[in-house]
Structure formats: structure tokens, C-alpha cells
A and B are shown apart, each in its own frame.
Chain A
Amino acid sequence: MRQGVSSKRQWLETTYKKGQERPARFSTISDLEIEPLYTPEDVPDGYETSIGYPGEYPYTRGVYESMYRGRLWTMRQFAGFGLAEDTNRRFHFLLAQGQDGLSTAFDMPALMGYDADHERARGEVGREGVSVTSIHDMLRLFDRIPLDKVSTSMTINCSASALLAMYLVVAERQGVPWSAVSGTIQNDMLKEFTAQKEWICPPRPSLRIVTDMIEFCARRVPRWHPVSISGYHIREAGSTAVQELAFTIGDGICYVEEAVKRGLNVDEFAPRLSFFWNLHNDFLEEVAKLRAARRMWAKIMKERFGAKNPRSMMLRTHAQTAGAALTAQQPINNVVRVAIQALAGVAGGVQSLHTNSMDETLALPTEQSVMVALRTQQIIAEETGLTNTIDPLGGSYAIEALTDRMERDAFEYVRRIDEMGGMIKAIETGYPQREIADAAFTYQRQLEQGVKTVVGVNKYAMPEELPIETLKIDPALEEMQVQRVRKMKRERNSAAVRESLGRVGEACRSGENLMDPICEAVRREATVGEICDVFRAEFGVYSDPGWI
């Protein structure tokens, strides 16, 4: 018998060399090169300090002590289309199917701070999400949903202050105290400038509004997550996994710095910061990314910001499977992609999860495809056994090596951003924007050269495909909503509306926290567009520099 090898290098030079190697590029989907084998040599020294235990600093293996043995993740399917009553019906359907939290998708006009009857809303009302213009729409949206029992996530950013105010006013009408309301509002403006590109004002006043909301929630709505620091859109815009990690953590650092400058104690607000990651196809890379993110955030909060409360150091996160990874071709294959992506999220220890529907590259999802997506999570939770043990891939040489590598690379980006003077400065010079666009272009090239594969698109394509059933939004809805909004505007007390908007404007100028005046404006039937018009007038409008 041959004598065994004694090191990885020796193995590579002797044994591995004798084997075959396909003429492929062995790299992650983000193009991180992957070695043929990982061994104990690739794993960091000191298990206790670098990897540790679940529920213990640096939280590499999970933020909670018992993770899914204690409580499964929240299955939270993003939903919204048409009029508020259409989405309210979908909400009741999802709750009846065993979903435990709501997640609201707003239409483009609401997301950009325009009313449904605005010129720029034409053709977009209720298309990509639910149309919400005033408190009346919000009351219809949450009709018969008790806000003290169901937690809600709202995906909205530049107009988030108006929508959070509406949600809080709905709670008032239901007799639910703000202290009992729980949920999350995305409200991550920094990533809007780098990735999702929904904005009203320039970066600095945008950040001021976010900071007002962090401060307001810390003091008045203590169970609310006032910002969900999002890598999701950065990845969708075409970044690599390391860039997603780095820019998201970089955005998080910026929010903490601003809130601390405001005079808040870090432990007063940091426990309510939450995150939102993308789950892409490269299984190992995604699991490693989630583990690296937890360890990075713990170190940053403890070492950079001096947090004392362990909850300030815990990166709690929502995740969503990658929309950009789905294909319009052979769409049923997307069910498989979503299952693998979701599996990475669960193996990576997320707290809440949205699984995309197979038809989302074609249209908003049908009820049937939403059900398959939700069932995918239920199958992972209850049939696969993945939830029996915590961080089941921890200790895998490959996973630990990849976790370390991604952390190292992401910290290098954070260092570069610090050198530029912080994230706002970096955004103003277009640094993250260009990095993301470069990565997107590189990946597209790799697809077209066949270096990377998308099944059914650049390989195994089929000429004829059966169309699948998609959801159609009735174009008549737009006119209905426009008429409803106009009627409301005619009938309300317009002097009271004007006066309340004047107060919002004063707060913009004086630096007083904006949230109380905005809540009052909402009570008096001021609309999303009118509140955002105050921002436009007071803070100016940002226009796309159009960097390619």
C-alpha cells in the first residue's frame, strides 16, 4: 500500500494531479475561485473565538441559542397588487395557508412618493404592488388584520416615513397602542442610491429622514424595526456576493454613525436594526456569506461602536431568494432554483424568509405559484430534517474557509469606503455604483461566453415553450383608484391638510423629528404624494447621474 500524503499541498501535487479535471472555471457564481479541496489547514485557529457557539459572540453559528429547535423562521411572502382590497384578500389567503407574518409590496407611484392621480403614475397604478395614496387605502389594506397580533414588513424607502405614519394611524383606529405594534420597514435609503434607485431627495437629507425614523421608533414604537439594511437589491443589481456583504455592512455602519451623532446611545437603537440578504444559486457561497455577515456585524458593533448589549451585536435577518436568478425560459425550473436558494438561507440561519414564485420573471405571481413557493419553505421546515441541528454546515472545511475569505474581502471594501470618508461620500463619487455595474457586466459576458451557465437560457434551451398562466392586472383598476383619490381630495378639509403639511415643512427646516408632524398630516388625510412634495420642496430632488 502507498504511503498517505501529509499535507494538502502534497496531495494536490501528487494524488489530485493524477485525476482528471474538466475544462471548466471552478469558481462561485460571483467568480470567487474555489479550490479542489479544503482541509483542516484552511480552517482558522481557535474555534472558540473565531467560530464559537450559537447565541454567543461572534455569532458565526447563529444569533439565537437554540435557533430552529426553538422556533422556526418566519415564513413571510411578499404580496401586493391592484387596489388595497385586492391585496387585503391575498393577505387573508396567506394567513389562512399558515404564513405567520405579512409583507407588503407597494406600487411604483407609492414607492416613489406620488399619488395614484399624479401624471407620473399613469400606467403604473397597482401594477408592481398595491396602490396606496392616503390613510383610507391603508385602512382597507389592513382591514380585519389585528396589528397587535400580526407583524408586518413594508418594503418602501424614500416615502417610508409617510407609510409608517399611515400604519401607526391604522393601529390607532384599531385601538392598538404603538408599543404593541411590531414589524419592519425597509427604509434603507443608502442602498437606493447604489442599487434599487428609488429616491426623492439627495443622499444627505434622505439619510436625515431615516435617522429621524430610527430615533422616533427607538423612543415611541419600541417593537418596530425602523430600517432593514438590505443587500438584496445590491445583489439584484448585479453585484458579487462579497460586494453585497461589504456594501450592506458599509451602509449599516453609516446608519449607526448617524444615529450616534444624533445623541442616541448605540444600545438604545441597535437591537432594532435588522438586515435583508439575497439568496442566490451558489449554495456554499450563500451559506458562507450569511455566516460571515453575522461575524462581521458582531465585531463592528462591539469593537467599532462599543456596544455593550449583546442584542446590538446580533445580525438578525430576513432573506429572499434571488429574483434575478429566475428565468423567463422554462419557468417551472424556477421552483427548483428557489428550493435550493431557500435551503441556503435555512442552512445559513436566517430569521425570516420569502421564497419567490416561479412566474415572477413574467408577471406578478398567481395564487397557485405563491402557494408552491410557500410550500417550498414548509417542506424544508418539516420534511428535510435540516432544522434538527444548528448551523449544520459549520465545521465544513470548505464552508469555514469560504466564510473567512468573504469576511476578509468584505472588510477590505469597508476599509476602502472608510478611506473615502464613509458611505455617503463613496455614493456621491459613484464608487459602489460602478463596482456593481462592472460586476453585472462581467457576469453577463461570462454568460454569453458560456463560462457561466443558466440552464434553459444559454444551455439546454428549448425552441418551443408552453406558456404558463400569469396574473393579469385589470387596467380598469387604475381609473377606479384615480377617481377614488380625486373624490377624497375634494371632500376632505383642505385647510387642515395644508396646515398639517406646513408643519411637516417647518420640521424639515428646523431639524425637529419629522415623524410626529407626518403622523398628524396622515390623520388629516394628507397623501403620500403631498408629504413627499414637501420633501421635494424643502430638500430638493435627486436625479440619476446615469453612470454606466
Chain B
Amino acid sequence: MCSVPSSAFTAIRGGFRSVADKRLRILVAKPGLDGHDRGAKIIARALRDGGFEVIYTGLHQTPEMIAEAAVQEDVDAVGLSILSGAHMTLFPEVIRLLKERGAGDVAVFGGGIIPDEDAEKLRTMGVKEVFTPGTSTEDIVKWVGEKVRPRE
């Protein structure tokens, strides 16, 4: 069992969210034990600047903590940043736990040091997109805008 205190998250709310406001809510999450959060933070800022509502989990999250946060925060997508090499273990686990919580329709995407062949496998496992080093934040913001749909 794993509960996530909401104080563990930094929510960046660009403005008032009304019922009619269909702005996408994105959870930027940092699973794994490593502390490489430079990319995650840059993406979080860029998505915020791109007009999305962004919640950043902070470091060292377990898949359970991430899935729980995605449900509690009612997000439309989860962006995972992994640089420790544990992506083949952690990505599928997040997807499995989201499904288990009835949130299998949350779009999961990610980035980090992920070899092409692993990225290919991850896509077949249900990861919507894998961004590798050198991808511009602009491309990621564009992708989210085009491919992520608000959940029903």
C-alpha cells in the first residue's frame, strides 16, 4: 500500500481552471533511484509554458506512488523520465498499476537514456511515445498537444 501526500507534489497551475477549461493535466514523474531531474524539470516547465497544467512528483518515486498520484490528481497523461537504465522494469509496471486502478486510458509517455530497441519494445507494451536525448521541448509540447486527449 502506498499513499502519496499531496504536499509531495509541486502543482503548477497557470490560472483558474473552470468546468469548461479542458486544459490537459499532465503528471511529470521521476521513477527510479537516480537523481537526474534536470530533464524532468525542464519538461515540466516547458509543458507549463505550453499551456498545460503540470504536476511534478519530485524524485525517487515508485511505480505505485506514480499510479496513485495519476489517479488522485486526475491527470490525462503521465510523462516518465528515466536515466538509470531501469526503464524496462518501471515503465510497464506503471502501465499495469494504472490499469489496475481503472486508469488504463491515461496516456503514458517518457524519455531518458533509452536505447532504440528498448524504445520499440516499450511502444508495443503500451507506452505512447519515447523521447530520446536531444529531443526539443518544443517537439514534446507539440506531441502532447496533438496526441493526448482529455479523459472522459
- Are A and B co-members of a single complex? yes
The reply to whether A122 and B89 contact each other, CB–CB distance below 8 Å, is: yes
Q: How far is the CA of A454 from the CA of B135 in the complex (A)?
A: 12
The reply to whether A437 and B41 contact each other, CB–CB distance below 8 Å, is: yes
Contacting A124 at CB < 8 Å: which of B59, B86, B138? B86
Q: How far is the CA of A168 from the CA of B132 in the complex (A)?
A: 41
The reply to whether A441 and B85 contact each other, CB–CB distance below 8 Å, is: no
Q: Nearest chain B CB to A538's CB is how many angstroms away?
A: 20
The reply to whether B45 and A441 contact each other, CB–CB distance below 8 Å, is: yes
The reply to whether A114 and B134 contact each other, CB–CB distance below 8 Å, is: no
**A124-B32, A238-B38 in contact; A327/B84 too (CB < 8 A)?**
no
Residues 39 to 63 of chain B near chain A (Cβ within 8 Å): 41-42, 44-46, 48, 56-60, 62
The reply to whether A123 and B89 contact each other, CB–CB distance below 8 Å, is: yes
The reply to whether B42 and A444 contact each other, CB–CB distance below 8 Å, is: yes
Q: How far is the CA of A108 from the CA of B9 in the complex (A)?
A: 23
**A120-B62, A237-B38 in contact; A361/B116 too (CB < 8 A)?**
no
Q: Return chain A residues, CB-CB under 8 Å to B116.
A: 467
The reply to whether A123 and B86 contact each other, CB–CB distance below 8 Å, is: yes
A546 at the interface (CB under 8 A from B): yes
Q: Mostly helix, strand, loop or mixed at chain B's interface?
A: loop
Q: How far is the CA of A123 from the CA of B62 in the complex (A)?
A: 12
Q: Return chain A residues, CB-CB under 8 Å to B33.
A: 108-109, 111-112, 114, 120-121, 124, 198
Q: Return chain B residues, CB-CB under 8 Å to A328.
A: 113, 132-134
Q: Return chain B residues, CB-CB under 8 Å to A441.
A: 41-42, 45
B133-152 contact mask (Cβ, 8 Å, vs A): 1 or 0: 11011100000000000000
Residues 111 to 132 of chain B near chain A (Cβ within 8 Å): 113, 115-116, 132
**A448-B138, A457-B134 in contact; A108/B34 too (CB < 8 A)?**
yes
* Residues in B lying within 8 Å of A, measured CB to CB: 8-10, 12, 32-38, 41-42, 44-46, 48, 56-60, 62, 84-86, 88-90, 113, 115-116, 132-134, 136-138
Q: Return chain A residues, CB-CB under 8 Å to B42.
A: 238, 440-441, 444
Q: Nearest chain B CB to A337's CB is how many angstroms away?
A: 14
Q: Return chain B residues, CB-CB under 8 Å to A161.
A: none
Q: How far is the CA of A114 from the CA of B134 in the complex (A)?
A: 32
The reply to whether A124 and B85 contact each other, CB–CB distance below 8 Å, is: yes
Q: Nearest chain B CB to A281's CB is how many angstroms away?
A: 16
Q: How far is the CA of A454 from the CA of B85 in the complex (A)?
A: 25
Q: How far is the CA of A234 from the CA of B141 in the complex (A)?
A: 27
Q: Return chain A residues, CB-CB under 8 Å to B60.
A: 112, 197, 543-544
The reply to whether B38 and A108 contact each other, CB–CB distance below 8 Å, is: no
Q: Nearest chain A CB to B17's CB is how many angstroms away?
A: 18
Q: How far is the CA of A362 from the CA of B86 in the complex (A)?
A: 13
A366 at the interface (CB under 8 A from B): no
The reply to whether B90 and A197 contact each other, CB–CB distance below 8 Å, is: no
A196 at the interface (CB under 8 A from B): yes
Q: With contacts A198-B33, A362-B115 known, what are 7 further pairs, Cβ within 8 A?
A: A127-B85, A198-B34, A327-B134, A361-B113, A440-B38, A457-B134, A544-B8
The reply to whether B90 and A444 contact each other, CB–CB distance below 8 Å, is: no
The reply to whether A545 and B38 contact each other, CB–CB distance below 8 Å, is: no
Which residue of B has the minimal Cβ distance to A111? Answer: B33
* Residues in A lying within 8 Å of B, measured CB to CB: 108-109, 111-112, 114, 120-124, 127-128, 192, 195-198, 236-238, 324, 327-329, 361-363, 437, 440-441, 444, 447-448, 454, 457-458, 467, 470, 473, 543-548
Q: How far is the CA of A109 from the CA of B89 in the complex (A)?
A: 15
The reply to whether B56 and A546 contact each other, CB–CB distance below 8 Å, is: yes
Q: Return chain B residues, CB-CB under 8 Å to A467.
A: 116
User: Closest 7 interchain pairs by CB?
Assistant: A197-B35, A123-B89, A546-B58, A544-B58, A123-B86, A108-B33, A127-B85
Name 30 A/B residue pairs within 8 A (Cβ), A-sorted: A108-B84, A114-B33, A120-B33, A123-B32, A123-B88, A123-B89, A124-B86, A128-B85, A197-B37, A198-B33, A198-B34, A327-B134, A328-B113, A328-B132, A329-B134, A363-B85, A441-B42, A444-B42, A444-B137, A447-B136, A448-B137, A458-B136, A544-B8, A544-B58, A544-B60, A545-B10, A545-B58, A546-B57, A548-B45, A548-B56
Q: Return chain A residues, CB-CB under 8 Å to B62.
A: 120
Q: Nearest chain B CB to A532's CB is how many angstroms away?
A: 12
Q: How far is the CA of A448 from the CA of B142 in the complex (A)?
A: 14
Q: Nearest chain A CB to B131's CB is how many angstroms away?
A: 11
The reply to whether B132 and A548 contact each other, CB–CB distance below 8 Å, is: no
Q: Nearest chain B CB to A406's CB is how many angstroms away?
A: 22
Q: Return chain A residues, CB-CB under 8 Å to B57.
A: 546
The reply to whether B115 and A327 contact each other, CB–CB distance below 8 Å, is: no
- Most A-side CB within 10 Å, residue of B35, B84, B115, B137: B35
Q: Nearest chain B CB to A454's CB is how many angstroms away?
A: 8
Q: Return chain A residues, CB-CB under 8 Å to B89.
A: 122-123
Q: Return chain A residues, CB-CB under 8 Å to B138.
A: 448
The reply to whether A440 and B90 contact each other, CB–CB distance below 8 Å, is: no
Q: Nearest chain B CB to A144's CB is how many angstroms away?
A: 29
